[in-house]
Chains A and B, each alone.
Chain A
Amino acid sequence: QVQLQESGPGLVKPSETLSLTCTVSGGSISTYYWNWIRQSPGKGLEWIGYIYYSGSTNYNPSLKSRVTISVDTSKNQFSLKLSSVTAADTAVYYCARESSVAFIAAAGTSYYYYMDVWGKGTTVTVSS
C-alpha cells in the first residue's frame, strides 16, 4: 500500500524559502504525476503544481514565479520549494499521487486523472 509523508520545517521566516519533501513508501515513484496542494486557514484547497517522474512539471500560474518542484527517483522522494514567502503562504501543505484511467471518448482514447493517494499534510507557518 503506497503511503506519502510530508516533511520539512514547520516555521519559515518571511522572505525566505519554504522547502518540503514528500517521501513515497510502499511503491515506486515512477509512472505517476506527483502533486503539491495547500490549504490556508479558512480557505479551500489550492493546487500548487505537479511533477512527472521523468521531471516535467506544471505549476499554478498564480505561484509559478516562486515555485520549484523536483523529483529524486533514487530516494523515492519529490520536493517543493516556494521562495519569498509571506504570511499568505501559511497553510497545511499536502503531497498527493495522481493516477489515470483510460477510457474511450469520441475522439479516441482519453484519461481521467485523480489524486488517489495523499499525505496527511504538514503545517507551515510563515512568521518572524
Chain B
Amino acid sequence: DIQVTQSPSSLSASIGDRVTITCRASEGINSYLNWYQHKPGEAPKILIYGASSLQTGVPSRFSGSGSGTDFTLTISSLQPEDFATYFCQQSYSPPRTFGQGTQVDIK
C-alpha cells in the first residue's frame, strides 16, 4: 500500500494567516493527490484534486501544489470558516489511502 504522511497533525493560526499543510507519499504518485476539508458533524468536502486543481465553488485562497511524493495545501489568508480538519488522499492506486489529518484551530 502507498502510505501518505501528513504534517503537522495540528496547528493554531489567526485570521489572515497563511497556512501550509504537507503530505508525503511513500512512493511516487504523479499528481494523484486530493485535499479535503472536514468540519465536525458535516460531510467532508473536496477542495483540490489532481494535486492542484481547485474544485468548482472552492474559494481561491485554497491552492495545492506538488508532484511525485511531496505535496502542499496552502490557505493564503485564513478565514473564520476555515477552522476545520484537512486531510489528503492518494488516488494513484488502490487501496485508496489517506493522510492522518491536520486540525486547524484558532490561536
Contacts and interface: CB of A to CB of B under 8 A. Distances in A.
Contact of A112 (B36, B49, B101): B49
Contacts of B45: 118
Contacts of B87: 44-45
Nearest to A115: B46
B53 A61 contact: no
A117 B36 CA distance: 11
Contact of A113 (B1, B91, B95, B101): B91
A97 to B, nearest CB: 10
Interface string A30-58: 00000101000000111100000000001
A122 B50 CA distance: 28
Interface string B86-101: 0101010011111111
Contact of B96 (A47, A61, A117): A47
A44 B101 contact: yes
A44 B98 contact: yes
B59 interface: no
Interface of A: 4, 35, 37, 44-47, 58-62, 94, 96, 101, 103, 112-121
Given A45-B87, A45-B98, A112-B34, 9 more contacts: A44-B87, A44-B98, A47-B95, A59-B95, A60-B94, A94-B44, A114-B55, A115-B36, A121-B43
